[in-house]
Amino acid sequence: MSEALVHKVRAAARPLQQPSDLDPLLERIGDARVVLLGEATHGTSEYYGWRARISERLLLEKDFSFLAVEGDWPDCYRLSRYVKGREDAGGSAFEVLHAFDRWPTWMWANQEIVELAEWLRTFNEGREPDDRVGFFGLDVYSLWDSLHAVLDFVRKNDGASLEHARQALRCFDPYGEDAQVYARATRFVGESCEAEVVGLLRDLRARREALRADGSRDAFFDAEQNALVARNAEAYYRAMVRGGGASWNLRDKHMMETLDRLLRHHGPKAKAIVWEHNTHVGDARYTDMARAGMWNIGQLAREAYGDDQVVLVGFGSHRGTVIAGEEWEAPMMRMPVPPAREGSWEDVLHRASPEDKLLVFDGHEDEELLAVRPHRAIGVVYHPQWESYGNYVPTVLPRRYDAFLYVDQSHALEPLHFVERSEHDYPETWPSGF
């Protein structure tokens, strides 16, 4: 790594200490319709905090319409009802979020989101009910919760669709609400519940006008979205057991479809804030994902709405602590994040100066800044001791993102549920040169 590169990054970087330091990013966002905010982990407090500050400024200064996140639709819709001040929506954000019980619970059941949700509720109190900002989930995992939500809706509003909903649930009954069991069974037996969930969504949509006329437009949108989740989740879980990139593409296509539905639902002038992991937000064409035939929502949004209407913001840090699990559905732990790999983008940013910083890209970067370098990506399953063997995505940083927020030393977020301590954990005060 050349000193010239370090010098160029140092010259391009702007300080990042307080909300007013976000002014260059707000200027870059301009009149964009969609802003996607990433994260290098699913368990870092600073990423949630800075995304909240950016989101608050977009709502206050640029009249954005809603917040959509990498979360389950049914859970997030309950929080959306709370922040909009709906009746019987819960007594506090803590109460609503503490009920998020699908692993990894800490992604949304954390103190940082409690604070944001209470801010949103206060913000909404001064707005007309139809103009209140919601909090929505884009993800595809909630197969059974979404099926139950559709059944509840049709019981109350649509007796004609009741049998379709019951048939879909009966089809899934033998699998005990375990997606892995369902996926493996469909792989070896060759039978599935695809026809049932496709039929349920088709039937509900066929009765759209009557149901929207008879009841709440939002209530029908919620039911239709849950039926869409059920259809796409069924396909996602079947694809997952086959391996390859098909399940990833199905998931991000679903998230893009949901984002598009939300924009249309909120009207022609709607603007969206999206929170997801960097691997979803950063344009896949500027990583090794493209060679594997994989895409993501960042790429799809640029292609659908145009580069001038979409701003992609990445996040990263040099070292710190994080909440994660040692395997899927394992207890969450507070783990160390070791200093970044030598030659990675995080290493370059640290060498440029050991302070938090903001980079805003203008499309005129020189060849050295456009080189492919490793860029750290930590998921919900993490093994710090194996850091040197993975957790990095080859990336052209100024093309993958329009801007990048760098935190030199980050800290684990504060989950609402019990956290175990990793045997590999280190004190918050570990030496900066570690």
The torsion defined by the Cα of 139, 145, 147 and 149, in degrees rounded to 10, comes to: -100
Confidence of residue 199 (pLDDT cuts 50, 70, 90): very high
> Which position has the higher pLDDT, 72 or 424?
72
Q: Is the pLDDT of residue 274 over 90?
A: yes
Number of H helices and E strands in the chain, helices first, is 17, 12
Torsion sign, CA atoms 303, 310, 286, 258: negative
Cβ-based neighbours of 10, under 8 Å, separated by 6 or more? 352, 353
**Looking at residue 188, what is its pLDDT?**
74
Confidence of residue 365 (pLDDT cuts 50, 70, 90): confident
Q: Could you give the C-alpha distances from 114 to 49, 98, 108, 109, in angstroms and in order?
A: 11, 9, 9, 8
- Classify residue 104 by its DSSP letter: S
Q: Is the pLDDT of residue 294 over 70?
A: yes
Least trusted range by pLDDT, from 40-49, 188-197, 322-331:
188-197
**Looking at residue 431, what is its pLDDT?**
27
User: 214-225: per-residue pLDDT in tens?
Assistant: 567 888 999 999
% of the chain with per-residue pLDDT over 90? 79
Q: Is the pLDDT of residue 13 over 80?
A: yes
**Looking at residue 172, what is its pLDDT?**
92
In this structure, are residues 351 and 432 in contact, taking their beta carbons and an 8 Å threshold?
no
User: What pTM did the predictor assign?
Assistant: 0.94
Integer Cα distance of 46 and 39 in angstroms: 9
Integer Cα distance of 198 and 6 in angstroms: 53
Mean pLDDT (the chain, rounded):
92
In this structure, are residues 117 and 92 in contact, taking their beta carbons and an 8 Å threshold?
no
Whether residue 415 is preceded by a cis peptide bond, meaning omega within 30 degrees of 0, is: no
Torsion sign, CA atoms 27, 57, 275, 279: positive
Other C-beta atoms within 10 Å of 33: how many? 19
> Whose structure tokens read 């296509």?
253
Q: Averaged over 349-372, what is the pLDDT?
A: 94
> Which position has the higher pLDDT, 377 or 191?
377
**Looking at residue 331, what is its pLDDT?**
95
In this structure, are residues 113 and 48 in contact, taking their beta carbons and an 8 Å threshold?
yes
